[in-house]
Amino acid sequence: MAELDGLKVAILVAEGFEQAELTEPKKALDEAGATTSVISPAKDEVQGWKHFEKGEKVKVDVPLEQASASEFDALLLPGGVANPDQLRTRPEAVEFVRAFFDAGKPVAAICHGPWTLIEADVVEGRTLTSWPSLKTDLRNAGAEWVDEEVVVDSGLVTSRKPADIPAFNREMLEIFAEARQAYQAQAR
């Protein structure tokens, strides 16, 4: 497993995130030594979903209004239909996401997570995957959409659904570890 000691990862979610798409990647990141923080427009807790049923609530570590992308090394965007649909309508969430791309920091997005990437105007010219219903939206935004379990494109890792999480986690950890090594080299 990739060593991520010292890497700070923001996990941006709103109400209605797909629970497994937050909890399983977060667990993989934590086990690899990263410091993860749940960022949300919600103040204290944010509600997860297991497909069409309510899941567990997750503690918010940093309210979105107080979060700065400059304080993090990487970004995770879980899916779920309601979650990214809400985030893409919030200018502060869109700016938060765009700041990671502007700084060349790695981003991992799964399922419906790329909706927020479209709004941040960062998918043009990239190849990625997502839940199939986003295919036309992504193509209209200038991306090449492919139906694969995981796609890596210049620091962006994307996957389609909860069943893809093992492949998603593997590639996310690898890309985030590469970024950590680059950060360490710059610090020397």
Exactly one of 112, 126, 161, 180 is catalytic; name it: 112
Q: Is residue 111 helix, strand or coil?
A: coil
Active site residue 112: yes
Give me the amino acid identity at 122.
V
Say how many C-beta atoms besides its own lie within 10 A of residue 118's C-beta: 21
Active site residue 51: no
Each as own residue / partner, the long-range contacts of residues 64-67 (CB below 8 Å, 24 or more positions apart, any chain) are 64/12, 64/39, 64/40, 64/90, 64/92, 64/93, 64/96, 65/41, 65/92, 67/10, 67/39, 67/96
Asked whether 48 and 17 are in contact (CB, 8 A), the reply is: yes
Exactly one of 87, 111, 138, 151 is catalytic; name it: 111
Annotated catalytic residues are: 111-112
